[in-house]
Structure 1
């Protein structure tokens, strides 16, 4: 199974379309959205082509292929226009012999991994900074932000296939990788 991870779309139809184009090009089986789907938040600038209603419409067409987590900018009103669940603060999925802990990162992150066991993989967004590393006996991954990257990082996403997790820029170049 091939999984694609995006985080922090923040209502940009331009980058939501880029994410869907990449999802199709990568031939991923599931698109995992790690929060901050529709709203840009008060601390962020308006993203390119800000149109939360268009983002909702686009993503709803893929509802059967999306696993989503709530971010700190997501709310109940957002759930009213999305046809896939996205209000959970975290979710677990099994990938081979690994347990993936999916969250946005504003509650559970590298400094709060109390829900993880040895060998688990913490995958989160929120910081808009790509990360792929091992911490003690766990893995920490952040695909960065598809829309609003920080610290001079490029717009990015993650791909997990055959236990190799790669973080790529939107042109497909590998920025970071880790074998799980």
Structure 2
């Protein structure tokens, strides 16, 4: 199963359309996961034509997005649990808030956003995956999104960086 992972798109404030590099990857995906800060539902409307879209809302998302997506969720595909949360809140680091959100039942993969900083590493047995941002790289040298591949043999996650 091939999944594209994105977060913190802030569209249309940070971009009016999806980057060409991202669109190129949409051809053969089974699902899309957005880890919040969509800004408007227009992005969901664009993405759903490519594959089923799953996600959560972030701290800048209004009621329309909060009505469509939960604050956190867990998906199960190919026998793997995938947790999704944006990661915003008070005090602590984004990563600590994300881990605390799933401390009762840690998933195999924990997808989050908020910081706009690409992360791919393990914490105990959970793969932490922040795709960065397609449209608002902040202090990062490049824009980014993620690809998650789930097979019977395991999980493969990678960032796709572009200018």
- Do structure 1's residue 169 and structure 2's residue 154 form an aligned pair? no
Say what the alpha-carbon RMSD is for the aligned residues.
2.8
The CA deviation at 1:138 is 2.1
The match for 1:93 is: 75
Of 32, 51, 55 in structure 2, the residue corresponding to residue 68 of structure 1 is: 55
- How many angstroms apart in 2 are the aligned matches of 1:152 and 1:31? 23
The CA deviation at 1:154 is 1.0
- Do structure 1's residue 125 and structure 2's residue 113 form an aligned pair? yes
Structure 2 unaligned spans of 5+: none
Q: How many residues align?
A: 151
The match for 2:87 is: 105
Q: Give the structure-2-normalised TM-score.
A: 0.77
Pair 109,93 (structure 1): closer, same or farther in 2 beyond 3 Å: farther
The match for 2:23 is: 21
- How many angstroms apart in 1 are the aligned matches of 2:21 and 2:31? 12
Structure 1 unaligned spans of 5+: 39-51, 172-180
Question: Per-residue CA shift, 1:134-180, capped at 9, x if unaligned?
Answer: 11232211000111013233111111113100111147xxxxxxxxx
The match for 2:3 is: 3
- How many angstroms apart in 1 are the aligned matches of 2:6 and 2:46? 15
- Give the 5 Å matches for 1:32-71: 32-38=33-39, 52=40, 55=43, 57-59=45-47, 61-62=49-50, 65-71=52-58
Q: Which has the higher contact order (CA 8 A, sep 6+)?
A: 2
- How many angstroms apart in 2 are the aligned matches of 1:118 and 1:35? 20
Q: Give the structure-1-normalised TM-score.
A: 0.70
The CA deviation at 1:105 is 1.4
The CA deviation at 1:20 is 5.8
Secondary structure of the corresponding residue to residue 119 of structure 2: strand
- How many angstroms apart in 2 are the aligned matches of 1:97 and 1:152? 34
Question: Per-residue CA shift, 1:15-65, capped at 9, x if unaligned?
Answer: 53547613424x111111111112xxxxxxxxxxxxx57546524545x61
